[in-house]
Amino acid sequence: MIEYPLYTLLVLLILLFASAIKILREYERGVIFLLGRFWKVKGPGFIIVIPGIQQMVRVDLRTIVMDVPSQDVISRDNVSVQVNAVVYFRVVDPEKAIIQVEDFYAATSHLAQTTLRSVLGQHELDEMLAERDRLNTDIQSILDQQTDAWGVKVSNVEIKHVDLNETMVRAIAQQAEAERARRAKVIHAEGELQASEKLLQAATTLAKQSQALQLRYLQTLTEIAGEKTNTIVFPLPMDLIERWANPEAKPE
């Protein structure tokens, strides 16, 4: 029969061994410290951590989707807007993520907020609305360079919303309406110019060919005759009347 002290020691050994067993999932790594000093990164799977001598910090390697809160941004053309975004990042070096920064998630979040304000403040409102892809790339590149020392890889940044106040919305709508009116006037003026050029060419051709002028008058008479009118007043040039009165006369 096992004596009581031996039984207690056996139970303690079993509990100690059980606490030393760690199971890490496929997407997890364990940063092991030996007497306070970094030793190695272990995982995934079954590992043993000696209690009291070794300590382990779990690190998740999956991509983290982080919402960047709305930031008040003043654009280069002095327009105040609120912008929010989403950042996709993950830990690629668990050792740096634990040793080089106290809380890599909080650090990345604050860095994303300041970078968002800094980058967008260098651009005008039209660029924020029309060139989001380029701005996303610029912000992602800056964040990736800054977080590399923390063992963090920023893979993507997406600007979600650029919110304007009602005054700016009305101003932009008026600007767009004025731009549409300007384009309509330009198109109308170009049409008038092209029509005048064609009319000038037609007038020049008719002036050179008297027979063509007579045919044009006859065509106009035919068109007017088809309308339901009681009285038709049609002027005739004197040279045309003279040609009809004197058919033997030769045109100049």
Q: What is the tens place of the pLDDT at every residue in 48-69? A: 998 889 999 999 999 999 999 9
Tell me how crowded residue 81 is: count the other CB atoms within 10 A of its CB: 20
Spatial CA neighbour of 99 closest among 89, 109, 111, 91: 91
Q: Which two structure tokens, joined as six digits, stand for 42?
A: 């272990």
pLDDT of residue 140: 95
Of all residues in the chain, the percent with pLDDT exceeding 90 is: 44
* pLDDT exceeds cutoff 60 at 244: no
pLDDT of residue 1: 46
Q: How far apart are CA 74 and CA 62, in angstroms?
A: 35
pTM of the model: 0.66
Q: For the chain, give every domain's residue range.
A: 4-60, 64-169, 209-224+231-252
Q: Decide yes or no: CATH 3.30.479.30 for domain 64-169.
A: yes
